[in-house]
Amino acid sequence: TTLIARRPASIRPSPSIAAKALVTRLRAEGRHIIDLTVGEPDFVTPRSIMEAAQAAMQAGDTYYTPSNGTLALRQAVADKLIRENGLSYGTDEIVVGCGAKQLIQTAFAATLDPGDEVIIPAPYWVSYPDLATLNDGVPVVVPCLEETGFKLSPSQLEATITARTKWVVLNSPNNPSGAVYTAAELAALGEVIERHPRVLVMTDEIYEHFVYDGQSQISFGRAVPALRDRTLVINGVSKAYAMTGWRIGYAAGPRLLAKTMSDLLSQSTTCPSSIGQAAAVRALSGDQTFVVQARATYETRRDRAVELLDAIPGISCKRPAGAFYAYPNVVGLIGRRSPDGIRIADDLALAHHLLSAGNVSVMDGTSYGLSPYLRVSFATSLEAIEAGCAAIARVAATLD
């Protein structure tokens, strides 16, 4: 066909969004599906945040805002970065966008020339490689194995950097593995990057508040202050405040990059919703009890999900340190056959089979660049987690 251009034709639709759409369709057809694919909190946005949005509307806050976001929100972000992350950024070094995803897309658009390489440790959030490709970049995927905690090592990084490397993308806590890098691990990666002056660091910290066992996340910029001029922090209110539908994210980095991203945004969305921005000011500046409670709830669910998954013959599941996903190893089920003769060739086939035979929807590790695994979300009720894991166990027991 001549309709679609070369670049978008090579882009996959987001697998996690496709999975959500499939669950919605099957449910509409009357199937009872247990959904463990969810990439968003199952809580309601806190009332005080909704009230701030209502107040903004009523006060006439209903016009275009600056394309890098309202000064009030950029100030709230600056205050949050210093308070929670120990990072000092001016309001002209901060850009607000329609979600962290749009800011990642815009950062790539602002910086990638054709052939520039983007180093992406796997397992990775599904969108990084496609967003790099969409902007003429070349994703360079580095497998980070379970034995090393699904984390990128300094020697792996050193071996992957070339003269074409433009970005290293770090995501801690990680979607889908839950891996959380320590300050020392970040510092060691930073030492490697310091030796390569052209390389930039994109640090996606959107799951920062969801770290368990009394531990906490440390921002890359805090661990490696020497790279401040080459670091772009990506974050947003989607996960922390159960605000995925409000579409507000933010980025902080070098002034010239922030300015270029803002210029690009002025030619696409113009600005995020003024009302969403007012809500985000309240989220970042208001009472933070919600976040603390959410973390405790996820921790309980994590413990239950891991316990149930790890008990299934053929599956082994480590306890993720952060985020809200378990990433169980399913190598013990690969190559087996279902009673009706379907061969479970890989984790994609397993996920398909779990949906058709068990009415339970999970993500396949293939989509995240490291197999054979499943991604099982625990951003859902304990009942759904228990019923979903029971369904997985039931189907697994029929494979031989």
106 touches ligand PLP by CB under 6 A = no
Tell me which residue has tokens 């310091």: 194
Q: How far is the CB of 243 from ligand PLP (least distance, A)?
A: 8
Contact 342, 349 (CB under 8 A): yes
Q: How far is the CB of 175 from ligand PLP (least distance, A)?
A: 4
Pairing of strands 249-252, 94-97: antiparallel
Total site size for ligand PLP, rule CB under 6 A: 13
> Using the rule CB under 6 A, which residue among 171, 172, 262, 297 binds ligand PLP?
171
Diameter over CA atoms, the chain: 64
Region near ligand PLP per CB under 6 A, out of 144-152, 183-191, 236-244, 288-296? 236-244
Centroid of chain to Cα 167: 17
Give residues 24-43 in contact with ligand PLP (rule: CB under 6 A). 39
Q: Annotate each residue in 40-69 with x if it binds ligand PLP (CB under 6 A) or - if it does not, as one string.
A: ------------------------------
Contact 66, 261 (CB under 8 A): no
User: What is the distance between the alpha carbons of residues 44 and 138, in angstroms, rounded to a whole number?
Assistant: 38
Q: How far is the CB of 171 from ligand PLP (least distance, A)?
A: 5
125 touches ligand PLP by CB under 6 A = yes
DSSP 131-176: HHHHTT-EEEEEE--GGGTT---HHHHHHH--TTEEEEEEESS-TT
Contact 389, 312 (CB under 8 A): yes
For residue 109, give the DSSP letter. H
Is cis: bond before 173, omega within 30 of 0?
yes
User: What is the distance between the alpha carbons of residues 89 and 82, in angstroms, rounded to a whole number?
Assistant: 8
Choose between 230 and 375: whose C-beta lies nearer to ligand PLP. 375
> Using the rule CB under 6 A, which residue among 244, 260, 356, 359 binds ligand PLP?
244
> Using the rule CB under 6 A, which residue among 135, 238, 273, 377 binds ligand PLP?
238
276 touches ligand PLP by CB under 6 A = no
Choose between 91 and 175: whose C-beta lies nearer to ligand PLP. 175
> Using the rule CB under 6 A, which residue among 65, 133, 175, 273 binds ligand PLP?
175
Q: Annotate each residue in 179-208 with x if it binds ligand PLP (CB under 6 A) or - if it does not, as one string.
A: -------------------------x-x--
- Encoded amino acid at 232, one letter: L
Tell me which residue has tokens 């993500």: 363
For residue 375, give the DSSP letter. E
Interaction site with ligand PLP (CB under 6 A): 39, 99-101, 125, 171, 175, 204, 206, 236, 238, 244, 249
